[in-house]
Amino acid sequence: MSFMNILIYLLALATFMSTLLGGFVILKFRKSLPYFFAFAAGSIIAAAFLDILPEGIDTAAKSAVPVRAVMLTIVGAFFLYSLLEKFFATHHLGGEHPHPHILGPVGAGSLAIHSFLDGAAIGISFQISFSAGLIVALAVIFHDMTDGINTVAVMLRNNHSARSAALFLGLDALAPVLGLVATTFLAIPESALAYILAFFVGEFIYIGASTLLPETRSHPSKRIIAAMALGIILIAALTSLI
């Protein structure tokens, strides 16, 4: 087995552990959930604008997909998730017996798909050059810790149990490993990838702004604002590495 293959496997393991670490932190300190919700809101919205959207536009340009089509997909995804929340409005905020909301698994599942694409990005980057692959891998490893936090935060915010959150956390942790391995077997057409990324942008903006951000308004503590700012700053720093 070559040094390159060993390194790729080690990086795949690191992405797995990084995601689990982020999720277990929020499960361990559930009394501080409002701060995690604020952090998740900042990081998931920042990821949409600073990470996924630029990547989607670049991919669209390479595959001759009109930018307007990308933007319409974003708006359509935002509208679709607003309809989903209205149609499946089974939870009652502040109620005595809140019920699980479908946006929990939908949001967490989409984060897992995004993590799968992150893993695929590592594999593709290593095919370009060793240095490119290493830089992308390190960025994904640190970024996946926030993905773990966001996955659990989305599930808990939508009234799902810690066990369900842990199951989706495991799926999200495994996703980049599968994405990395998948690059040796299949390739997603760039035109399709542009629309997938645009759909994620619309969804993540909705989840951050409509599901997570409202939780911060009921907590006047300045530490809530600091937590949200930390999420934004961290994503901004990580995306600057790529």
Q: What is the pLDDT of residue 111?
A: 83
Distance CA 213, CA 94 (A): 16
Q: For the whole model, what pTM was predicted? A: 0.67
pLDDT at position 78, please? 92
Q: Are 19 and 206 spatial neighbours (Cβ–Cβ below 8 Å)?
A: no
pLDDT per residue over 42-98, tens digit each?
888 888 898 889 888 998 999 999 999 999 999 999 998 788 766 655 443 444 445
Q: String of b and e for 78-113 (b: at least 16 CB within 10 Å)? A: beebeebbeeeeebeeeeeeeebbbbbbbbbbbbbb
Phi-psi group of 70: left, alpha or beta (phi > 0 → left; psi -120 to 50 → alpha; rest → beta):
alpha
Question: Hey, what are 123's tokens?
Answer: 């594999």
99, two tokens: 């019920």
- The domain spans of the chain are 3-91+98-239
Residue 212 Ramachandran class (φ > 0 left, ψ -120 to 50 alpha, else beta) = alpha
- pLDDT score for 95: 42
What does the pLDDT read at residue 221? 76
pLDDT tens-digit map of 137-149: 776 786 778 788 8
pLDDT at 88: 53
Contact partners, residue 125, CB within 8 Å, separation at least 6? 132, 133, 135, 136, 137
Residue numbers in the chain where pLDDT is lower than 70: 1, 85-99, 125, 127-129, 131-133, 135-136, 139, 142, 187, 215, 242
Structure tokens at 237: 């720093």
